[in-house]
Amino acid sequence: MSEVPSTEELALFQQLIREHVPHNLALGVHFVQATFEPSTVTLRLEWSDKLIGNPTTGVIHGGAVTTLLDAVSGASVYTKLRAPLPIATLDLRVDFLGRPPTGRDIFAKAECYRVTRSVGFVRAVAFVDDEKNPFASASSTFALSTRGSVPGVPS
């Protein structure tokens, strides 16, 4: 059974996602769900014609999808750490397996499956209706800082 974060912890995740990284807000990234065991986060990218990468097909730009996968992956590291330490993306590999339908919100789910003293390891998928049928998958690593704090977030 999944361990669900408390109301306060969920509020902190929402704050980190929407306020700490301003471009998430500008792109229309929304918090959907988080669990601690397993360490997962799901985010939603709101459909907008401003994010279209190919005007002929109407398909969303790959950069917007990559940004969503980076955001959800970083957020999943916080579910594993259960503390707002500064983190930074070290490596992010995205494989586009197909293209999403036009005019639909996009979801991304990530799992932080391992954390060492200095690095978090994450797998993620982007999908529309079913996470078992993704149109993109990602693998990433994040540097964990032991110094400082996340600005605007109580430690």
The pTM (predicted TM-score) of the whole model is 0.89
Structure tokens, 16? 């980190």
Mean pLDDT for the chain overall: 89
d(CA 124, CA 82): 19
Domain at 7-144: CATH code: 3.10.129.10
List pLDDT tens digits, range 92-135: 999 999 999 999 999 999 999 999 999 999 999 999 999 999 99
Average pLDDT in the 33-46 region? 92
Least confident of 3-17, 46-60, 87-101: 3-17
d(CA 134, CA 8): 31
